[in-house]
Structure 1
Amino acid sequence: MSRSTNLLQQMTIFVTMVTGGGCGMMYYLMQKNFAKSEYYRSAVERLNDHSTAMANLGAPPLKIHNIHLTDRYNRVDHTIAQLKIPVTGTKTGGYLYTTSNRDATMNRWRLQRVALQLKNSETIEIFPSEESE
């Protein structure tokens, strides 16, 4: 009887470790796919090119953190991508809010809006910028 209990405990530990490892791998791969996507990269490039936003963050160096997968703001489907990307610099941090639409004819993502909201609630519109309107 104790042998079967011992075997059951070993199986439980094994299944728990495999499940945890699988969940961790899935989380890592999802973050990696976000970081490689066109709508993510173009928004981060716009932030890097915006001197006022970078100065307010205290960047470079700019640190981009993992997206919170449970945040309801983060949504991606076939036509729209909406992300809230956590970023920090040496002075402060905040969230980079991005919205992109998929151009069906060109099969590419086009930025609609990129804005940086700092921890002090200041919002800096990055794209479209005030100068281009």
Structure 2
Amino acid sequence: MFQNTKLLLRIALFGAFGVSAFGIMTEYLIQNNVRNSMCYKEALKYLCDHPEAKRQLGPPIVDGRINLGDTVGNSSEGNKIWYTVPVRGQKSHGKMMYYVTDVNESDRKFKVTRVELELNHIKDKKLLIKNAELA
């Protein structure tokens, strides 16, 4: 009887470890896929090249980890997808929000249409970095 309990405990322990490792690995792979995408790199380049963003954040501008559990900051509607990325510099920190539009559904080509910066020290205001909808 005692051997059965030990066996069940081992199964539960290894099962919990396996599920945890799978969850951590899945989140890492999703983060990596988003960060290696051309749209992510393009949005970050727009932010780093913008003079007011550089002045407010202070160089160098560093990106953080995307909170994949944030369903408001990272979501989609129709053919638009948006992500919120924490960014920081020497002077301040904030959140970069970038919007991606599916230009051609057949070959899954995406285009960055809007990039915004929300600074933590300036509440209720956003710095518009790029807006292709107005251009």
TM over 0.5: yes
Counterpart of 1:51 in structure 2 is 51
Counterpart of 2:118 in structure 1 is 117
Give the TM-score, by structure 1 length. 0.87
Matches within 5 A, 1:1-133: 1-60=1-60, 62-72=61-71, 73-76=73-76, 79-104=79-104, 107-120=108-121, 121=123, 122-128=125-131
Which stretches of structure 1, 4 residues or longer, exceed 6 Å deviation after superposition?
Answer: none
CA distance in 1 between partners of 2:38 and 2:77 (Å): 14
CA RMSD of aligned residues (A): 2.2
Aligned-pair CA distance for 1:91: 1.4
CA distance in 1 between partners of 2:54 and 2:21 (Å): 37
CA distance in 2 between partners of 1:10 and 1:18 (Å): 12
CA distance in 2 between partners of 1:90 and 1:43 (Å): 20
**Are the counterparts in 2 of residues 39 and 81 from structure 1 also a CA contact under 8 Å?**
no
CA distance in 2 between partners of 1:86 and 1:26 (Å): 20
**Are the counterparts in 2 of residues 97 and 115 from structure 1 also a CA contact under 8 Å?**
yes
Aligned-pair CA distance for 1:70: 1.4
Q: Which letter does structure 1 place at the counterpart of 2:126?
A: T
Count of aligned positions: 130
CA distance in 2 between partners of 1:111 and 1:25 (Å): 28
Gaps of 5+ in 1: none
Give the TM-score, by structure 2 length. 0.85
Bigger mean CA offset, 9-18 vs 51-60: 51-60
Q: Which letter does structure 2 place at the counterpart of 1:119?
A: N
Gaps of 5+ in 2: none
**Are the counterparts in 2 of residues 100 and 112 from structure 1 also a CA contact under 8 Å?**
yes
- What percentage of residue pairs aligned between the two structures are identical? 26
